[in-house]
Amino acid sequence: MNINILAGGPLERLPSFENYKTEEDLWIGVDKGVFTLLSQNIQPYRAFGDFDSVTEEEWALIELNVESIHRFQPEKDETDMEHALNWALSENPKKIRLFGATGGRMDHFFANVQLLIKPLNNNEEISVEIIDIQNKIFMTKPGTYSIQTDSDYQYISFIPISGEVEGLTLKGFKYPLTDCHIPISSTLCISNELVDDSGTFSYKQGILMVIRSNDL
């Protein structure tokens, strides 16, 4: 099972959902994202949020069409997205995808990016990624990873997030590296590309944010 979570980010930042509407994909709506799912004829399995960004008419439609709604007060310690992600992690899916998590307010964007660290801190082997029309973002802990060519996301960047990254090795890339030290302020690993159908990256210490991007 995969769990797709749609938040209320700008509609123009959303990719096509056609590749994510399979029998394995369960859809969750967050705040305005619930209404967006209904508008695209996707049935939300659950809804999370304080729903302060929807109109009375939109809320009435959500109440009518979604069986399981988790509604919170606006004054709370977790964001609506974090509530939804916590529930998704508890279901132990193969993958969690966050949509509608970029664009608009920068504080919301950085909060959503920060949430990608949560399963790593909890030692959970669940892949969580943010996806929009131009980017895929995910976090990794030390290890060795295979990465495939994707024409929709040509460029690959590696950004140290928690502590300095030690021993970064890139194979199959236009700009390879061998056992490299990457300080947290470094931009050395921005905008790389695969030269083969697949490549690998590995490292020994730190947390890396991996961003796959393309030009629009």
Domain end call among 105, 133, 161: 133
CA distances from 101 to 48, 112, 206 (A): 14, 6, 24
Tell me, yes or no, whether 110 and 30 share the same domain: yes
pLDDT tens readout for residues 137-169: 999 999 999 999 999 999 999 999 988 999 999
How many domains does the chain fold into? Answer: 2
Domain end call among 133, 150, 172: 133
Statement: residue 57 has pLDDT above 90: yes
Domain end call among 71, 104, 133: 133
In angstroms, rounded to a whole number, what is the distance separating the alpha carbons of residues 147 and 115? 22
Q: What is the CATH number of the domain that holds 26?
A: 3.40.50.10240
Joined tokens for residue 166 = 């030690």
pTM exceeds 0.85: yes
pLDDT tens readout for residues 100-139: 999 999 999 999 999 999 999 888 889 999 999 999 999 9
